[in-house]
Structure 1
Amino acid sequence: MSENAPAPVSARAPRQPRASPGKAGGMHKASAHARRSRARAFALQALYQHLVGGSDAASIDAFTRDLTGFHKADAAHYAALLHGCIAAAAALDALITPLLDRKMAEISPVEHATMWIGVYEFQHCPDVPWRVVLNECIELAKEFGGTDGHKYVNAVLNGLAPHLRAMEVAADRTRSAAAPPSGASNRP
């Protein structure tokens, strides 16, 4: 192979869904996680419509549920995010605004909606670990937002997590501090 020839690209098979019925017809956790991730993506798109167009939640909800692929999303989680974020918009903004380095009006609607989702889940979805909320929101901002929007979302949500999930964040930090550095041996 010559020096200027491009490196070979390995073919990768498309990801296959992991959904399969478990006991009592339930789904595996991976499938439930994928359904929630899709719900967040649809909620982000719906919240974007609300922020940009000012449309009401009911009409946005009806429109979004007709989109291709919605049936693969966790509809209940989507509804909680959409309706919960719109209903609590002022309270969510009140938590977010002190951590901003600019006016809320200067924040992209994608980043704004993503931060709403993160704060809402911190407050109302204790079954979702705070690190999962953070990572999911970063991924949403990477997929739908501007070049470095995910860094901004990360900074704001990381700043709010210790206040909104104090015990959980403190427990994580205690575990991290107690863990030996990787590659370290426990032998004397």
Structure 2
Amino acid sequence: MSQTKTNARKCAVQALYQWQMSGESLNRIEAYFLEDEMLKGAQKSYFHDIFHGVPKQLDVIDAVLAEFVDRPVEKIDPVERAILRIGVYELINRLETPYRVIINEGVNLAKCYGAEGSHKYINGILDKVSQKKRATEIQAKRGAKKS
């Protein structure tokens, strides 16, 4: 797991939270992160991909989440919602990243930024999404373990 990608995800959670709460333009928020050197130690291209990718695919991401969450997506705590959206985005679009890494990163983000115990909720939802979106990868992993 790359620390620069982890840092990119941390910045993406903060930036998406800011976007969700303020409605400010993505470019303006990204410029703020660049100007204040908040992306120091982060893979900037990964941050950019996630931060711009989630809003572009918001309808698809939220439709996936709606299948597995216990309330309307908009009623999920804004920090947890940002973390879940990043996780779903990566599960759908970043196929080079193993699903377990994406789940673990989501859990760690929740432990860092979410409410107490929110990591359990994040883990459960991303695990269910993985079962659907990464079924082939999961089956291959299980088959490799049996050999």
Considering the TM-score relative to the shorter chain, is it more than 0.5? yes
Runs (5+) with no aligned partner, structure 2: none
Percent identity, please: 32
- Matched with 1:131 is 100
- Matched with 2:116 is 147
Asked if the contact 2:107–2:119 (Cα under 8 Å) also holds between the matched residues in 1, the reply is yes
Select the structure with the greater relative contact order (CA < 8 A; seq sep ≥ 6): 2
Give the Cα–Cα distance (whole angstroms) in 2 for the partners of residues 44 and 67 of structure 1.
Answer: 16
1:65 deviates by 1.6
Code of the aligned partner of 1:162: Q
- Matched with 1:44 is 13
Asked if the contact 2:13–2:83 (Cα under 8 Å) also holds between the matched residues in 1, the reply is yes
1:65 to 18, 23, 34: 34
Runs (5+) with no aligned partner, structure 1: 1-29, 180-188
Give the Cα–Cα distance (whole angstroms) in 2 for the partners of residues 76 and 102 of structure 1.
Answer: 33
Give the Cα–Cα distance (whole angstroms) in 2 for the partners of residues 40 and 70 of structure 1.
Answer: 10
Alignment size in residue pairs: 147
Give the Cα–Cα distance (whole angstroms) in 2 for the partners of residues 41 and 121 of structure 1.
Answer: 14
Q: Following TM superposition, where does structure 1 have runs of at least 4 consecutive aligned residues deviating by more than 3 angstroms? A: none
TM-score for the superposition, normalised by structure 1: 0.74
For the aligned residue pairs, the C-alpha RMSD in angstroms reads: 1.4
Residue 141 (structure 2) pairs with residue 172 (structure 1): yes
Residue 65 (structure 2) pairs with residue 100 (structure 1): no
Give the Cα–Cα distance (whole angstroms) in 2 for the partners of residues 65 and 140 of structure 1.
Answer: 21
Instruction: Say which SS state the counterpart of residue 40 (structure 1) adopts.
Output: helix
2:128 to 142, 156, 159: 159
Code of the aligned partner of 1:140: L
1:149 deviates by 1.1
Residue 98 (structure 2) pairs with residue 116 (structure 1): no
Structure number with larger C-alpha Rg? 1
Higher mean Cα deviation, 165-174 or 33-42?
Answer: 165-174
Give the Cα–Cα distance (whole angstroms) in 2 for the partners of residues 86 and 147 of structure 1.
Answer: 27
TM-score for the superposition, normalised by structure 2: 0.94
Give the Cα–Cα distance (whole angstroms) in 1 for the partners of residues 78 and 113 of structure 2.
Answer: 10
Larger % of helix: which?
Answer: 2
Instruction: Say which SS state the counterpart of residue 71 (structure 2) adopts.
Output: coil
- Matched with 1:17 is none
Give the Cα–Cα distance (whole angstroms) in 1 for the partners of residues 60 and 38 of structure 2.
Answer: 31
Give the Cα–Cα distance (whole angstroms) in 2 for the partners of residues 65 and 128 of structure 1.
Answer: 25
1:69 deviates by 4.4
